[in-house]
Amino acid sequence: MSRFKNSGKKEMPGITSSSLSDIVFMLLFFFMVTTQMRDTEQKVKITTPEASEVVKLDRKDLNSYINIGSPTLAYQQMFGTEPRIQLNDSFRTTDEIRDFIAAERESKSEKDRSLMTVSIKADQDVRMGIITDVKQELRRCSALKIMYTARRPAK
């Protein structure tokens, strides 16, 4: 019976950590693929309204954003607290949307231009007046596909 008997004190083998890096790399790749860099600085404060029937945007690359909201604290001295429109990186007026849309259209490839979507990302406390102005301007530029950005309600 001595065959199975431990012969002397055995040392605990160390856990190999060589596969740890593989696991971490896998996570890393996942986040690298799903990540989307915030390319512009947010200059207006936006809390999007809640809506339960939201759908995902199918082509993120064909999307342009119009941000509407009151300026953040750092910009309130210069621009006040009235809701403003932010296009790309600066505060703009409704008249400048035309140029913005034209520039955005130009940057998309020929065949995708008709699929271009304009996301209206507005704070939930803004009044419809400014949004109506934006919508009218978009209609004038015939950028008719729009999306009202909203978020799922917290359960």
Number of residues that bind another protein (CB under 8 A): 53
Please identify which residue in 6, 7, 34, 109 interacts with another protein, judged by CB under 8 A: 34
Does the protein bind another protein through residue 41 (CB under 8 A)?
A: no
Q: Does 96 bind another protein (CB under 8 A)?
A: no
CA 146/CA 137 separation, integer angstroms: 12
* Amino acid (1-letter code) at residue 127: R
Kindly tell me which residue out of 9, 32, 94, 106 binds another protein, with binding defined by CB under 8 A: 32
67 binds another protein (CB under 8 A): no
Q: Which stretch binds another protein (CB under 8 A): 46-54, 71-79, 84-92, 98-106?
A: 46-54
Report the alpha-carbon distance of residue 143 to residue 134 in Å, rounded. 11
Of residues 106-145, those binding another protein (CB under 8 A): 117, 119, 122-129, 131-132, 135-136, 138-140, 142, 144-145
Q: Which residues contact 73 (CB under 8 A, 6 or more apart)?
A: none
DSSP H or E segment with residue 78: helix 73-79
Residue among 94, 92, 70, 100 at smallest CA distance from 82: 70
**Distance, CA of 122 to CA of 49 (rounded, Å):** 8
Strand pairing category for 117-122 and 63-71: parallel
| First-to-last C-alpha distance (Å) of the chain | 64
Contact residue for another protein among 24, 102, 103, 115 (CB under 8 A): 24
Among 12, 15, 55, 154, binds another protein (CB under 8 A): 55
- Asked if residue 90 binds another protein (CB under 8 A), the reply is no
Residues at the contact surface with another protein, assessed by CB under 8 A: 17-18, 20-21, 24-25, 27-28, 31-32, 34-38, 49-57, 60, 63, 117, 119, 122-129, 131-132, 135-136, 138-140, 142, 144-152
